[in-house]
Amino acid sequence: MIDQKALSAAFSAIGVDHWRDALLPLIDTRLSAAGHGDFERWQKIVSALADVPESERRELLLSLAPWRKGPLNLGGIAIDTEWRSDWKWSRVKDAIEPLAGRKVLDVGCGNGYFALQMAKAGADYVIGVDPTIVFVMQFLAINHFERNERVFVVPARMHELPLPARRFDTTFSMGVLYHCRSPIDHLQELRQTLRPGGQLILETLFLPGDEAFARTPTDRYARMRNVWMLPTIKELEVWMARSGYRNFNVVDQTLTTTDEQRSTEWMTFESLRESLDPEDPGRTVEGWPAPRRVVVTATSP
């Protein structure tokens, strides 16, 4: 599974040796039959990828669904994921500080799609963290074909990382902030991962408006229960300034469309289309403005 020797070497190269004691036992616990009832099944699927012919590989990979970030091509198998993550990456990649030689943390990385794009852009090491075990197993399946020895996905949550650890040149938080009960705490934790002068790249949902304000859904937003706070971009700038960041910059703001996020054979659950008002797709089924996402950058002092 995860090459813990290589991961330990990566921790040393980044300068976070103290992460070993906290995270290696956590990996052992989470990636086990005791940690998740489907782990052994998923482990057999990933292990079998090396030996099965292409005609059988597709069914194995389908067994790791839902596939959310991509698209991917694994050993000749095209995986049409829920998200066209390549569109998002194309909007961001040229607007951030060059990743060549940098040590990167990717918080809420899912199956590691963006982490691998960062590595291809020249990042020295990328540590991804995500608590969803099937996404970790998807990364292991992807990396069976990519064979990138400097990208890792660790089954952990942000608050489980031993902080402060101000050693990363770049930290990504893509689609996490609105899931946090306390967005300010999340921003401050992210800052504790960055070296002085390091760059944060953050993507989140936002509300339209020229004033600084935020609202909390009473129940759901776009059918998601775990959306806690939706700011305007002006309010997000206030949050980041109050959290100690400098050089706030808006890289991209995009209305999410059903071409970019949708159900597919590889993610058969309901997706964005079912979350929008069929009479007015500019609003969610609850009456909120339809999902808009902003990508911003900022510098840690």
Establish if 64 belongs to a structural domain: no
Query: Among all chains, which residue has been given the structure tokens 């990566």?
Result: 10
112 in Cβ contact with 143 (< 8 Å)? yes
Q: What is the pLDDT of residue 204?
A: 98
The CATH number for 138's domain is: 3.40.50.150
107 in Cβ contact with 165 (< 8 Å)? no
Cis bond upstream, residue 164 (ω within 30): yes
Amino acid occupying residue 208: P
115 in Cβ contact with 121 (< 8 Å)? no
Q: What is the pLDDT of residue 290?
A: 98
Q: What is the pLDDT of residue 53?
A: 87
CB neighbour list of residue 296: distance below 8 Å, 6 or more residues apart: 201, 202, 203, 233, 236, 237, 240, 248, 249, 250, 251
pTM: 0.97
Establish if 46 belongs to a structural domain: yes
Q: Using CA atoms, how far apart are residues 30 and 16, in angstroms rounded to an integer?
A: 21
Q: Is the dihedral of CA 211, 239, 251, 292 positive or negative?
A: negative
Establish if 281 belongs to a structural domain: yes
Establish if 37 belongs to a structural domain: yes
Amino acid occupying residue 253: Q
Residues of the chain under the 70 pLDDT cut: none
**How many Cα neighbours within 13 Å face the side chain of 32?**
9
Which stretches does DSSP call E strand in the chain?
69-70, 72-74, 77-79, 83-84, 103-107, 125-129, 151-154, 168-174, 194-205, 214-215, 230-231, 246-255, 276-277, 280-284, 292-299
The structural domain count of the chain equals 1
Q: What is the pLDDT of residue 50?
A: 87
CB neighbour list of residue 282: distance below 8 Å, 6 or more residues apart: 289, 290
Establish if 63 belongs to a structural domain: no
DSSP conformation class of 218: S
Establish if 31 belongs to a structural domain: yes
Q: Using CA atoms, how far apart are residues 196 and 300, in angstroms rounded to an integer?
A: 6
Q: What is the SS3 assignment for 82?
A: coil
Establish if 215 belongs to a structural domain: yes
- Expressed as residue numbers, the domain containing 46 is 4-57+70-299
Q: Could you report the per-residue pLDDT of 143-174, keeping only the tens digit for each?
A: 999 999 999 999 999 999 999 999 999 999 99
Cis bond upstream, residue 71 (ω within 30): yes
Q: Using CA atoms, how far apart are residues 289 and 268, in angstroms rounded to an integer?
A: 25
Establish if 172 belongs to a structural domain: yes
- The secondary structure of 3-62, three-state, reads CHHHHHHHHHHHCCCCHHHHHHHHHHHHCCCCCCCCHHHHHHHHHHCCCCCHHHHHHHHH
Q: Using CA atoms, how far apart are residues 49 and 40, in angstroms rounded to an integer?
A: 15
96 in Cβ contact with 199 (< 8 Å)? yes
Q: What is the pLDDT of residue 85?
A: 98
Could you give the percent of the chain with pLDDT greater than 70? Answer: 100
Q: Using CA atoms, how far apart are residues 213 and 200, in angstroms rounded to an integer?
A: 22
Amino acid occupying residue 259: D
